[in-house]
Amino acid sequence: MRERMDAFAYTALPGRVVFGTGTLAQLSEEMERLECRRAFVLSTPQQADKARELLSDLGEHGAGLFDGATMHTPVEVTERALAIARELEADCTVAFGGGSTIGLGKAIALRADLPQICIPTTYAGSEMTPIIGQTENGVKTTQRTEKVLPEVTIYDVDLTLTLPALLSATSGLNAMAHAVEALYAKDRNPVIALLAEEAVSALASALPKVVADGVDRRARTDALYGAWLCGMCLGSVGMALHHKLCHVLGGAFDLPHAETHAIVLPHALAYNAAAAQSAAAALSRALGTQDPAQALFDLAGKLGAPRALRQIGMPEDGIAPAAELALENPYWNPRPIGRDAIETLIARAWAGEPPSALR
């Protein structure tokens, strides 16, 4: 039975979504809706060629391109991009890519209040949130402000057809983490609970098909739909232990964002499941299992995603320091956060061991 809540607060976030196939062609129209005429296109170096094509297609409405977006939104990269945007007299940003690029657009909006159009090419979900994470001197900090919420998101299934299998898997699992934690968030509500359960179900069903056949349009559509819902979850309620751990690990060791989330998720869920029984029940329904933490660990293995932090570059001697950092300014969590238990959790995630409740 789904949890019933007699009292809750729900804030609907403003933002326009254009979803479908071939929707990239509507970019100029969406700029017109925002009354913008000089778009500053953003991408990572890996997406530079496609971003350059997009800039060319914009014609006189393309102000320029910055292709230096990178993981964890380093402040120095943002300052460099912002200086170029001002020099070009850009009146909006168009973020073409995944979480790194969208994060850069948000960081520019935070400082210059430029309208944002996001064109996601992965399943990260950041485009649906008023949350920004930034890294300076090896420390990643986050804040929530509607100033960084993108005005328009264009989801084009066509852009995901060439997303490599491994990146599809890790970014999809990263998205699922948003929905999982939304189910036991301190400020959870029935609207987001419904979206979260649907999101996990859609992604869990679609990702194996996407990995098996990357041009399966039905599976790609379902995965992108699930990722959108996950992003809405992340943007609407607070997160907990899982996201705190991933922010600590990513910022301290410069670990790849999506892979870190994919690895930590089953362990954080196992830690919290007994203290969040309604969330565990929803995930059991979505995943068709009585042990959702183990199911997520098994899903990562089936998808070929990494399941050990050591695989993605975390040093073993970083386990204890990471546990200490996780206890600094901790996020609210349904289960108390104990120093020894968290160190053990990180150690198991480092080694790639199955998730454990750590009682």
The DSSP-derived string for 60-101 is GGEEEEE----TT-BHHHHHHHHHHHHHHT-SEEEEEESHHH
Q: What is the mean pLDDT of the chain?
A: 95
Q: Are 47 and 76 in contact (CB under 8 A)?
A: no
- Residues whose CB is less than 8 angstroms from the CB of residue 5 and which lie 6 or more positions away in sequence, other chains included: 188, 189, 190
The reported pLDDT for the residue numbered 39 is 98
Q: Does domain 16-160 have CATH number 3.40.50.1970?
A: yes
Query: Is pLDDT of 300 > 90?
Result: yes
Sheet holding 39-42, edge to edge: 16-20, 152-156, 116-120, 92-97, 39-42, 62-66
Rounded mean pLDDT, 21-29: 97
Q: Which pair of tokens denotes residue 51?
A: 């971003």
Q: Where are the domains of the chain?
A: 16-160, 165-351
For residue 18, CA distances in Å to 22, 26, 54, 234, 295 come to 10, 9, 17, 19, 32
For the chain, helix (H) and strand (E) counts, in that order, are 13, 8
**245-259 pLDDT, tens digit each:** 998 999 899 999 899
160-219 pLDDT, tens digit each: 999 999 999 999 999 999 999 999 999 999 999 999 999 999 999 999 999 999 999 999
* Chain CA centroid to CA 140, Å: 15
Question: For 313, left (φ over 0), alpha (ψ -120 to 50), or beta?
Answer: left
Q: Is the pLDDT of residue 72 over 90?
A: no
pLDDT of residue 6: 76
What band does 142 get if pLDDT is binned at 50, 70 and 90?
A: confident
Which range, of 8-12, 126-130, 211-215, averages the lowest pLDDT? 8-12
CB 96 within 8 A of CB 50: yes
pLDDT score of 231 more than 90 = yes
- Terminal alpha carbon distance of the chain: 26
When the candidates are 1.20.1090.10, 2.10.109.10, 1.20.58.340, 2.60.40.420, the CATH number that belongs to 165-351 is: 1.20.1090.10
Contact 182, 188 (CB under 8 A): yes
**pLDDT at 141 (0 to 100):** 87
Using pLDDT thresholds of 50, 70 and 90, give the confidence band for residue 303: very high
The four Cα atoms 63, 66, 67, 71 give a dihedral, to 10 degrees, of -130
- Checking if the pLDDT of 359 tops 80, the result is no
Residues 139-162 have a mean pLDDT of 94
Predicted confidence at residue 1, as pLDDT, reads 59
Query: Average pLDDT, stretch 320-329?
Result: 94
pLDDT number for residue 164: 95
Determine the Cα–Cα distance for residues 359 and 354; give it in Å rounded to an integer. 15
